[in-house]
Amino acid sequence: MAGYDDRDGVIWLDGKMVPWREANVHILTHAMHYASSVFEGERAYNGKIFKSREHSERLIASAEALDMPMPYSVDDIETAKEQALQASGLKDAYIRVLVWRGSGDDMGVASAQNPVRMAVAVWPWGAYYGDAKMQGAKLDIAEWKRPSPETIPVHAKAAGLYMICTISKHKAEARGCSDALFMDWRGYVAEATGANVFFVKDGEVHTPLADCFLNGITRQTVIQMLKDKGITVHERRIKPEEMADFEQCWLTGTAAEVTPVGQIGDYTFEVGDLTREISQDYEQLVRT
């Protein structure tokens, strides 16, 4: 497969459809230097983007958190995504929406003079964790911690929050793992580098309280699915040593969908019935 900058097709860029290879920015783009960038990852199934408006609303909230005045409304973003999806000719696809501070009069940390720009790119993206979907992914435990909400806007889907994700995922992959699980700054279990985490014990589900990391749209969907089935869900602070007593584990995310986890550090989990059921139910839900 060619690199992501070297493909056929078009990218929606600031209101225009631009040939894929020409969707470029200047080297003095503010976002490249200071991480003034927010984004969304979405999936379309059978030509329909799952929870599209929720993603557009979160994008605007993320931009506001970074003091970037959005030049586009939710409806504008919906239209842009629809146009990009149509142009791709794909029915099942991944949609990446990016909003960033471009180049302009400012080259210092402040960027009020620089335009806020937006792009939408669409491409095919299969299972995020490869065959882990069946066997259970193996996760490393990250050395970095998810930061306190007093440190950084933790609920924004912002590029700057992924710096420790990339470092941790590189280390995890070098150790033969698919991903890394973060603890938070207090030492409680938080999330993976691009997905939320769930555990099962005695027929009940436990998931970390989303008080210092992204409260994933898939996470919220799965919690509702579980509640609709009459399963008790505990959103609470989870200590890492509790993982010894959990029987099953899965990750949720737009890219990850519902991915079973077989191992986190030295803790092991079975790919059990509830994990399989939720994974299948989610696959069905996104296509209805």
Ligand X SMILES: Cc1ncc(COP(=O)(O)O)c(C=O)c1O
Sheet order of strands, 37-45 included: 16-19, 10-13, 116-123, 93-101, 37-45, 48-49
> Per-residue x/- marks for ligand X, 183-222, CB under 6 A?
--------x--xxx-----------------x-xxxx---
Give least dist CB 165 to ligand X, A. 6
Residue (39 or 246) nearer to ligand X, CB: 39
- From the list 157, 201, 227, 229, the catalytic residue is 157
Q: Which stretch binds ligand X (CB under 6 A): 23-31, 70-78, 249-257, 270-278?
A: 249-257
Q: How far is the CB of 256 from ligand X (least distance, A)?
A: 7
Residue 133 bears catalytic tag: no
Number of residues near ligand X (by CB under 6 A): 13
Residue nearest to ligand X according to CB distances in the complex = 216
Q: Tell me: does residue 56 bind ligand X (CB under 6 A).
A: no
- Binding track, positions 26-45, relative to ligand X; x by CB under 6 A: ---------------x----
| Six-digit token string for 252 | 């949720």
Catalytic residues: 157
Q: Under the rule (CB under 6 A), what is the footprint of ligand X?
A: 41, 191, 194-196, 214, 216-219, 252-254
